[in-house]
Structure 1
Amino acid sequence: MKRNKPKYMQIIDAAVIVIAENGFHQSQVSKIAKQAGVADGTIYLYFHNKEDILISVFREKMGMFVHKITEEIEKKETASEKLLVLIEHHFKNLSENPKLAIITQLELRQSNKELRQKINDVLKDYLFVVDEVIKYGIERNEFTQIVDVRLTRQMIFGTIDEIITNWVINEQKYDLVELAPAVQRLLLNGCGK
């Protein structure tokens, strides 16, 4: 499996830097190879093309994030605590990786339809975690019973996503993680009883 090969993550990490600094369309494979410290041809041992690199960046980084956030959410008792953990970790993950934030919030959105479909496939695991928090809140009677899970997920994800996009556009001039409790309160008001 290529993910276990030593240079795979080296190329992924280099791609984050190059794409964030140059934009996806101006990021040649040769620039990524140079940043990774590998020959241009080495890239093609791991990836089919530049689009495959972008999707792989998102898949790897999102996979690690979902794994970590799932572990943290499981430690919490209430749905409101789980929601706060979800928001805080999402904000923290991207505030600690501003180049990755540029890719997830700006570069992935400029992609073609086929690429966006692959991105949506990767995003499903994260959205499943959001759904589970919502269902847990409904089961525990913390959230209103008439909550539409899909609509509530869109509200939660859309709010988090818009706040991070605004943070990226404003060149990370404020502490994103500090906003988490206020965002949680606003979202709870939308889900609450």
Structure 2
Amino acid sequence: MKDKRPKYKKIIEAAVMVIAEKGYHAAQVSKIAKQAGVADGTIYLYFKNKDDILISLFREKMGMHIEKIRKCLEGKKTASEKLYTLVENHFSQLNKDRQYAIVTQLELRQTNRELRQRINLVLKEYLNLIDEIVEYGVRTGEFREDLDFRLARQMIFGTIDEIATTWVMNDQKYDLVSLVSSVHELLIDGFRKRDALSSDHP
């Protein structure tokens, strides 16, 4: 498959570096090509335009991220453990790949409506993963049976996304992963049954 070719991946990684450094609007295709060590024309063998590069890098990275989370979720017995794993992996991914963090938390937001819709389509699979965890918690009786799934999803993604954005805006001066336990505790306390013991945290 074309998207598995070495040059494709080199261009993706180069795009992350250039967009993080220059900003999306100033990240010219020629600069991405130079960073990747390929001719300008080579870019267009894999991508239609710069918008396509942005969507592709997000799809590539997000796909790998979701796959890793799903593997980590295997064997987790409780919704609390699953949610902790999700938050931990989300923060760890950004903490390890700080240029990608800049792209996702800042540059993906500075796009036109059409591009935003394409980005949301990529994000949908991740939101579905969050839904699965929430639904599991309700089904097993760990979360309140009257829990609004859509609101719970917005709370989870909105919280971790805003914290990650604040971290980027603060020039990534602290360890994002150190916040996992506190974030998990705040979220889980909002979802669990009222009679659940606070000592249930993983």
Q: TM-score when scaled to structure 1?
A: 0.99
CA deviation after TM superposition for structure 1 residue 140, in Å: 1.1
SS at match of 1:187: helix
CA deviation after TM superposition for structure 1 residue 74, in Å: 2.1
SS at match of 2:26: coil
In 2, distance between residues paired with 1:101 and 1:14? 14
**Amino acid corresponding to residue 122 of structure 2 in structure 1:** V
After TM superposition, list the pairs within 5 Å mapping 1:28-43 onto structure 2: 28-43=28-43
Residue 147 of structure 2 is aligned to residue 159 of structure 1? no
Residue 99 of structure 1: aligned partner: 99
SS at match of 1:72: helix
In 2, distance between residues paired with 1:69 and 1:181? 17
After TM superposition, list the pairs within 5 Å mapping 1:1-193 onto structure 2: 1-193=1-193
Residue 196 of structure 2: aligned partner: none
**Amino acid corresponding to residue 185 of structure 1 in structure 2:** E
In 2, distance between residues paired with 1:23 and 1:75? 40
Deviations 1:26-79 (A, max 9, x none): 000000000000000000000000000000010000000001001111221110
CA deviation after TM superposition for structure 1 residue 183, in Å: 0.4
- Structure 1 unaligned residues grouped into runs of 5+: none
Divergent runs of 4+, >6 A: none
Percent of pairs with identical residues? 63
SS at match of 2:165: helix
CA deviation after TM superposition for structure 1 residue 85, in Å: 0.3
CA deviation after TM superposition for structure 1 residue 159, in Å: 0.2
In 1, distance between residues paired with 2:111 and 2:132? 29
Aligned residue pairs total 193
CA deviation after TM superposition for structure 1 residue 190, in Å: 1.1
SS at match of 2:87: helix
CA deviation after TM superposition for structure 1 residue 6, in Å: 2.0
In 1, distance between residues paired with 2:26 and 2:155? 33
Q: TM-score when scaled to structure 2?
A: 0.94
Please give the root-mean-square deviation of Cα atoms over the aligned residues, in Å.
0.6
